Structure 1
Amino acid sequence: MTEDKEKHNLYSIAFYNLENLFDISNTDNVLDRDFTPTGRNKWNKKRYLRKLKQLSTVIAQIGEKETGFSPAVIGIAEVENKQVITDLLGTEALQHKGYEIIHFNSPDERGVDVAFLYRPHVFDFIHAEPITLAVDNLDGVLDQTRDVLLVKGKLEGKLIYFFVNHWPSRREDGDTQYKRVKAAELIHQSIEKIKLETPNPNIIIMGDFNDDPTNASIKQHLVTEDFYNPYESIFDKGFGTLTYRRQWHLFDQIILSKNLMNASELTYKEAHVFDEEFLKEWKGKHKGRPFRTYIGPWFQGGYSDHFPVYIILKNNKP
């Protein structure tokens, strides 16, 4: 099996919120002090290296059962900087995968960003840019939140535009859905610009949306008539990627334009939550939930508070 020919011509597209992948240094003007050796979480080199190893073993396995390889492309969230991604790709599980990195620093007050990884044997990168989400908090002060990452490239010759998202979080102290609606509107503004250069574009929107497939920001504002969200039916069946306020939610989703549903060449096949047993708490009151790095300030040594998600595309070319 060669690197550029996956098993049965299948390719996986993934997204994974890595849950606070910080380095151990305190960065000026960033709220990352908790993730330092002297901070609340006692975040040191040993714990950092353990988390890198944990995450890399997950990424290496996503989609492998179906395609024979790790993801062709993967969007990631909650990374502090490019160096932590470089360290992640330097681990034993990923160092020979050949991933390239697309990353921009965002204005997020905690210093966490989204990024895009791709295997150049199957994905030809063309262009990338950050899209700033300008939205105010309820007090009128600008929310320093994550950018949306737009990546343009060809997967097995098929031109696709990817949007990688980590939308504004839910808050205990007030309704924030208006921010996520604004994020959905921002993506559609970008799509209208894309249509000026590429009629009927192939688009994949992935991310941690901090809303379920049935919430208004997703169902009414993001998934318009030109798009299909396979994770709505998965959510209806009771599957989730994280627990929030003791309830299962499916904030992590991959949404695609309908022209990828029945394409003659590269076409959508299926969608999954990667919720293997080794990613779950195996005992106690949190049994079955994602095995986290921390619960509060208490180190657990797990992977992430999110399960990854992935879809399978099939190349119908002989």
Structure 2
Amino acid sequence: MSRKNYFQKKETNHYTVAFYNLENLFDVTDDPNTLDEDFLPDSEKGWNRKRYEKKIFKLGNVISNIGFSKTRRPPVLVGVAEVENKKVLEDLIQTKHLKNKNYGIVHYNSPDERGIDVAFLYLKDYFEVLDSEAIPLMVNNQNGERDYTRDILKVTGLLNNEKIHILVNHWPSRRDGAALTSYKRVAAADKNREIISEITAEDPEAKIIIMGDFNDDPYSESIKEHLVQEDLFNPMERLLTRYQGSLNYRSQWNLFDQIIFSHNFHRYEKGKHSFSNAAIFDKDFLKIYKGRYKGNPFRTYIGRKYLGGYSDHFPVYIQLKIN
């Protein structure tokens, strides 16, 4: 094989499915309906057009590289969290590394008070959307008032002509304490189970992928006891260690970002997708390279201090192969 051909390897029969929390991907325009004041040019953070364009350029580069070494193509399906609106997604897929890839977008505005949503990107050459909807998550805060949080995004489509259902999540945060807010994430898990039941009532053999920033680890109550039952498999369980995760808080690794799927992805059927492998995309260029936080995700901000990085989360992904 010539050197030229070696570096132009053909695409393989493997396909990457990714999830990425984009850390406050806000535009620079004030939305009067959301709490976006921190991400405006006159805010203390000084969020401006130059910083915005730098961030989406960097995120586009990351997304284009997730799983590429094995598949020779960018991810066919990408769930994302913390996006302000559809416009930022349109800008993202028009950046240098993504603009010729033919990505489509599924997005709905959620009732989250900060105005951050989940969304779904897909390569139109491999995936066709049949149906999508935003499903509200109804939870209350400690005062009994509704906590306006992100919807669950449900997308049904054909991946290489095989029908697949995807649920994209961003569960309520731990901001007021993990234990105090645990009930909200349990409610989110139960809502996902309800959606799964509706899907399988119609098609018992349905192939389902649940992805998101769950704000809980694989062994947390919401995931281990409520979401993952005998019909689901969580390949992320073995990825969380003392030395590796998708985010780092107070020098401890967490793996809030997970991709979970129905067991029938373990089945071998000709012309169908089966599970190959799972990983955290934590390449060195995504990490802080020196100092106290060395090895942590190279984020855009720490508090109000601008660092100019990517995100405070690493992406996670699974790879499927066509048999």
Q: CA deviation at 1:295?
A: 0.4
CA distance in 2, matches of 1:160, 1:39: 42
Q: CA deviation at 1:238?
A: 4.2
The answer to whether 1:309 aligns with 2:313 is no
Aligned equivalent of 1:278: 285
- Superposition pairs for residues 136-147 of structure 1, below 5 Å? 136-147=140-151
Aligned equivalent of 1:245: 250
Q: CA deviation at 1:197?
A: 2.1
What SS is found at the alignment partner of 2:157?
strand
CA distance in 2, matches of 1:15, 1:113: 14
Which of 19, 22, 34 in structure 2 is aligned with 1:18? 22
Aligned equivalent of 1:155: 159
The answer to whether 1:261 aligns with 2:270 is no
Which of 227, 230, 235 in structure 1 is aligned with 2:235? 230
Which of 73, 76, 82 in structure 2 is aligned with 1:72? 76
What SS is found at the alignment partner of 1:176?
helix
What SS is found at the alignment partner of 2:140?
coil
Q: CA deviation at 1:274?
A: 0.2
Q: Deviations over 1:283-305 (max 9, x none)?
A: 11010000000001000000000
Which of 32, 47, 54 in structure 1 is aligned with 2:36? 32
Cα contact 2:242–2:252 (8 A) shared by 1:
no
Aligned equivalent of 2:105: 101
User: Structure 1, unaligned stretches of length 5 or more?
Assistant: none
What SS is found at the alignment partner of 1:17?
strand
CA distance in 2, matches of 1:244, 1:136: 26
2:167 partner letter: F
Q: TM-score, normalised by structure 1?
A: 0.96
CA distance in 1, matches of 2:142, 2:31: 27
The answer to whether 1:210 aligns with 2:210 is no
Q: Deviations over 1:195-236 (max 9, x none)?
A: 232222100000000000010100110111101000001114
What SS is found at the alignment partner of 2:63?
helix
Q: Deviations over 1:258-307 (max 9, x none)?
A: 00112312100000100000000001101000000000100000000000
The answer to whether 1:288 aligns with 2:295 is yes
CA distance in 1, matches of 2:241, 2:313: 18
Aligned equivalent of 2:193: 188
Cα contact 2:152–2:170 (8 A) shared by 1:
yes
Which deviates more from structure 2 when the two are superposed, residues 166-175 or residues 254-263? 166-175
User: Structure 2, unaligned stretches of length 5 or more?
Assistant: none
Aligned equivalent of 1:299: 306
CA distance in 1, matches of 2:11, 2:199: 32
CA distance in 1, matches of 2:283, 2:260: 22
What SS is found at the alignment partner of 2:87?
helix
Q: Deviations over 1:87-130 (max 9, x none)?
A: 01111111001000000000000000000000111112100000
Cα contact 2:281–2:317 (8 A) shared by 1:
yes
The answer to whether 1:7 aligns with 2:11 is yes
Q: Percent identity?
A: 52
2:96 partner letter: E
1:248 partner letter: W
CA RMSD in angstroms comes to: 1.5
Cα contact 2:170–2:213 (8 A) shared by 1:
yes
Q: Deviations over 1:108-155 (max 9, x none)?
A: 000000000001111121000001000000111110100000000111
Q: CA deviation at 1:246?
A: 2.8
What SS is found at the alignment partner of 1:8?
coil
CA distance in 2, matches of 1:97, 1:206: 22
Cα contact 2:126–2:159 (8 A) shared by 1:
yes
> Number of aligned pairs?
313
